[in-house]
Amino acid sequence: MSDVHPKKGRKNPTGTAIASKNILMPQINDTAPNCGMRFIKTNMTVENTTEKQIDAIFRELVNVVPTKKYIGTKIPYKLALDIARFGIKPLVEYFKTRTKNEVENSFSNGNFFKNNPLSERDVLDAVPSLFFHIGKYRLGILGAAGNHFLDLMKITEIKNKDVAEKFGIKEGQYIFLMHTGSGLLGQYASYMYTPKRKEHLSQWIVLKLGTLFFDSQKKRIYSKVAEKLKEYKDKDEFLGYDDKSLEGEMFLTAHRTSANFGFANRSVLTHQLDQALEKVLGKPAELDLLYDNTHISIEREHHFGEDVWVHRNGAVRANGPLRMGTHPIYSKTGEPVFIPSS
């Protein structure tokens, strides 16, 4: 992120990254797993797009990309669970989104479980089904908190022509930069494992209902988590879960399943953007994802000869080409990093 700043009710400022060997620390991160950004290329340029069209695009997007709304784009409950388990792929297939490179150009291919998907039972042992019933109504909402945005930007100057060419970016081209996250599902799943005071009565009520009807085979284990949350609510030190404990396993599952909804939310919003652009322009804008990257995450990484848990709160990786594996573009350029304007 472009700055470091504190937030009300958070123990750790935004814009930080902290590593630990075998301890997972939920209070390091904001209660918004996989809040992140995506950089979307278009075929719109200064030559083929008028100011009148841009004004019409803005007016249409105000209607189809809500910032404050109780119900967004509804999906089936089964799809909500599939997103939790498999990431963005089931959603892309369900909506038949046209955005190019949407899976392969997303962080971790749009799935925090990578090639190790969980069963539905594993998911529901860590996160109450009520939260997924809420989540199935909450995709496609940009959100008004946390400076979320959807910006239309024009490329005016290129510093590195070789990298820009590999990224498919040129001067005079219009692109979209989107910032949003996993919404209420991510928030509630985080609250279950984080000793953080609730900001609204509705959050407290939903959390109470979720835990009351929590149909988990590990509910006895979660009762220990609940005791820890009470113990650490007013403490100065951070709560930590041993990564090999059942509590740590449940927390990490909750974090990753809800984080997958960050990818899903940005995908649905891009789908809405795609349809809005075609409606205004009379032809497809040929949206192409340069990269979708998270800036609130907990990942196991190898640094300085050791495997560690890296907690990023409003911070991103900046891997060089060698760390980007066999990706056809990033293995040559390094990982794309976006620094939005203030």
pLDDT (tens digit per residue) in 92-147: 999 999 999 999 999 999 999 998 889 999 999 999 999 999 999 999 999 876 68
Per-residue model confidence (pLDDT) at position 198 = 76
Please calculate the CA angle 84-263-13 and round it to the nearest 5 degrees.
100
Domain ranges in the chain are: 35-296
The answer to whether residue 11 scores a pLDDT higher than 90 is: no
Q: Out of 49-53, 154-158, 199-203, 333-337, which region has the weakest mean confidence (pLDDT)?
A: 199-203
Q: Are 187 and 136 in contact (CB under 8 A)?
A: no
Checking if the pLDDT of 299 tops 90, the result is yes
| Per-residue model confidence (pLDDT) at position 84 | 98
Burial annotation 271-297 (CB, 10 A radius, 16+ → b, else e) = bbbbebbeebbeeebebbbbbbbbbbb
What angle separates helix 51-64 from helix 246-281, to the nearest 10 degrees?
Answer: 140
Give 14's pLDDT tier (boundaries 50, 70, 90).
confident
In this structure, whether the domain defined by 35-296 belongs to CATH 3.90.1860.10 is answered with yes
Q: How far is the C-alpha of 154 from the C-alpha of 166, rounded, in Å?
A: 18
Instruction: Report which residue type is found at 306.
Output: E
> Does the pLDDT at position 261 exceed 90?
yes
Single out the residue of 193, 72, 59, 200 nearest to residue 136, CA to CA: 72
Distance CA 272, CA 293 (A): 19
DSSP string for residues in 214-280: ---TTHHHHHHHHHHHHHHTT-SSPP-EETTSHHHHHHHHHHHHHHHHHHHHHHHHHHHHHHHHHHH
So what's the pLDDT on residue 145?
67
Supply the pTM of this predicted model.
0.95
- The token pair that represents 297 in the structure block: 């995450």
Residue 146: the pLDDT is 62
pLDDT score of 342 more than 60 = no
